[in-house]
Amino acid sequence: MIAKPGRRDLTSPRAWRPISLLSCLGKGLERLIARRLAWAAIHYSVLHPQQAGALPKRSATDLVTALIHDIEEAFARKKVATLVTMDIQGAFDTVMRNRLVLRLREQGWPDHLARWAGSFMSGRSARVRYQDTLTSSSPLECGLPQGSPVSPILFLLYTEPIYRLGNPQGRFGYADDTAILSIGDTVDETTAMASGAIDEMVRWGAMNGVSFDTKKTEVMHFSRSKLRAAPAPTICEDSPTRNTARCRLPYEVPSEHVSSPCCSTAPRRGTQAHPGRDGINPLKTYLQATNISYRE
């Protein structure tokens, strides 16, 4: 297990990321399949054009540039915009085998590829190792293994329908993070549009076993004029989104920054978290949360 970067509560299981130790030979085959899947998904427009992550020639810089362009275009038409960002909780762990096979067939992938994906997720078991402690094996009923080269692209294909909901042009996604841009004449109008889009996302998630982390759901309002009171869209009555800012864009993105090849995704030095710090045993924390037996 690896602690997630940043200052986190290491007593929480969400602060740790379990990484699967897989066969090097198998990972070589999975890498080849992942590259072919990514190329075909873009070439045949299987994935949304504003969906990125684990895809060649698509970066977070491209998404931000497209988002700013849409907001500036709305400003030129004297309109306002509301942006809602949401995070899929659990990400890889939420993928169900049979539903993934069905999704691939609906998208038009060859049947042998869909069956391979089903076999890839079948018969898996896991046990957790930390230092000198090793648990017994437990069967896995769902979820893609973190550490496999093919898991990211399969996850993107699994969540692709999210970006076809509502107004597809206002959808942006990077891996398990998604954003919804609503444009209208007033903030009240865009807030209502954003609330409807959120409700549609939550309903889709309920039907597909996908949940969204309400603690990470945020909203931003963009306007040329000063906003006196900016309402926040809600997911449900007791879980309002966090209204982070009422923003203006005081700058323009130069064209040379579009599809910039020099954007680095490597973490900065000093951001790596170290397991076991502060005297907290991550193995015990993770196993207690997942109901796997733990012995001192």
**What's the pLDDT band for 173 if we cut at 50, 70, 90?**
very high
Half-sphere exposure of 268 (CA within 13 A, CB side): 3
First to last CA, the chain: 18
Structure tokens at 105: 């067939």
Among 140-154, 163-177, 248-262, where is mean pLDDT lowest? 248-262
Separation of alpha carbons 46 and 105, rounded Å: 12
Say whether pLDDT at 264 is over 70: no
pTM value is 0.74
pLDDT digits (tens, 9 = 90+) for 267-289: 333 333 334 444 444 444 444 44
Helical residues (DSSP H) of 77-213, grouped into ranges: 97-106, 111-120, 151-158, 187-208
- Give the pLDDT mean for 156-171: 91
pLDDT digits (tens, 9 = 90+) for 221-242: 998 877 665 565 655 444 445 5
Say whether pLDDT at 81 is over 90: yes
Q: Are 244 and 218 in contact (CB under 8 A)?
A: yes
pLDDT for position 10? 76
pLDDT for position 111? 94
Say whether pLDDT at 84 is over 60: yes
Distances (CA, A) of 52 to 95, 268, 284: 18, 22, 35
Separation of alpha carbons 51 and 216, rounded Å: 19
Closest CA to 208 of 117, 98, 113, 114: 98
